[in-house]
Amino acid sequence: MKAGEDPVAAPGVSYQERMVVVADGVRLKVREWRPPASAAQEPLFFIAGWISLVSGWRPLLEVLVPTRRVVYLETREKASAEVDRRLLRPEHFSIPRLADDLIAAAAALGLADGRTVLFGSSMGSNAILEALKGGRLPARAAFLVGPNAEFRFPAWGKVAVAILPAWLIERLKGFVVWYLRRFRVNARSDPEQMARYVRTVRAANALRLKLSAQAVLDYSALPGLETVPAPVAVAYAESDHLHGEGEVRRIVRAMPHGTAISCPSNTYMHTAAVAADLDGFLSGLDGHGAR
């Protein structure tokens, strides 16, 4: 895809790309779609998962962008981000740091007035949860796909991210794909999910992949969830071993206004079908939502 090319190209919807400053030495890529003026649904702030590509979300975006303003932020571990070399350390890629980026970007983009719906996946979902804690990012609601209560690495994985240089991680991407297919993703029941992971791992910036992996080794989403004031729906699929039902239930129970939404598969949650779940959740809100 060429720079500036609309990855969705929905009829009648305008598109632009820009960089937004979120901290000294950090600029993040923003993709924004605006429908005709007659579309009056709340704006949606979209934060995708770890090293993910916008192409993986095209089926859902095709349904969302004709009806509402959609702002898609690419987080700082992605290759599109401009990050000062002095900041290439694990602490600058932590989930709380990503949450600070979201808050700064929302303010810069006019999305911090409490009307915006937040949509996130995987690590993007966790960044949203951190930003919502204590009401730091006002939002009408959030719809999250597969956040993690914790990030668990096997013992060898912790050693690997600590000692392996980025150039070797680049060469080991094939092994990462094999590990995901063999131990973490049900490639037989959800081959499209596996295909997305293959594409994203191969496209990832190896150094930032390493730094962000190091940054989440001891992370837990649970502390502070009781301070999230917004209604939050958490979608999950039983076949998704990376973000299982148990993880989701722990997160939902910890929030005052959490709702668990079961979906057929991880692939389903990347398709146009999940838009109906989002709309159903939003239409059912009474100002606070329901568990």
Q: What is the CATH number of the domain that holds 133?
A: 3.40.50.1820
- What is the pTM (predicted TM-score) of this model? 0.84
Is residue 252 over pLDDT 70? Answer: yes
Residue 258 domain-assigned? yes
- If you ran DSSP here, which 8-state letter would residue 183 be given? I
Domain, as residue range, for 254? 14-151+219-283
Q: Produce one character per residue of 181-193: b if its CB has 16 or more CB atoms within 10 Å, e if not.
A: beeebbbebbebb
Kindly state the tokens that stand for 256.
């005052």
Residue 167 has pLDDT above 90, yes or no: no
Asked if residue 3 belongs to a domain, the reply is no
User: 111 with 82: CB under 8 angstroms?
Assistant: no
Residue 291 scores a pLDDT above 50: no
Q: What percent of the chain has pLDDT over 70?
A: 80
Six-digit token string for 260: 């668990």
**What is the band of 156 on the pLDDT scale with cuts at 50, 70, 90?**
low
- Residue 248: closest CA among 147, 108, 120: 147
Residue 120 lies in a domain: yes
Contact 35, 13 (CB under 8 A): yes
**Structural domain includes residue 40:** yes
Asked if residue 42 is part of any domain, the answer here is yes
Mean pLDDT on 196-214: 77
Count CA within 13 A, CB hemisphere, residue 187. 13
Q: Does residue 289 lie within any of the structural domains?
A: no
151 versus 138: the higher-pLDDT residue is: 138
In a domain, 8, yes or no: no
Calculate helix-pair angle for 123-132, 95-108, nearest 10 degrees.
70
pLDDT at 178: 72
Give the residue from 184, 210, 203, 80 showing the smallest Cα distance to 122.
Answer: 184
Residue 247 resides in a domain:
yes
Q: Are 73 and 46 in contact (CB under 8 A)?
A: yes
Domain count, the chain: 1
CB 93 within 8 A of CB 68: no
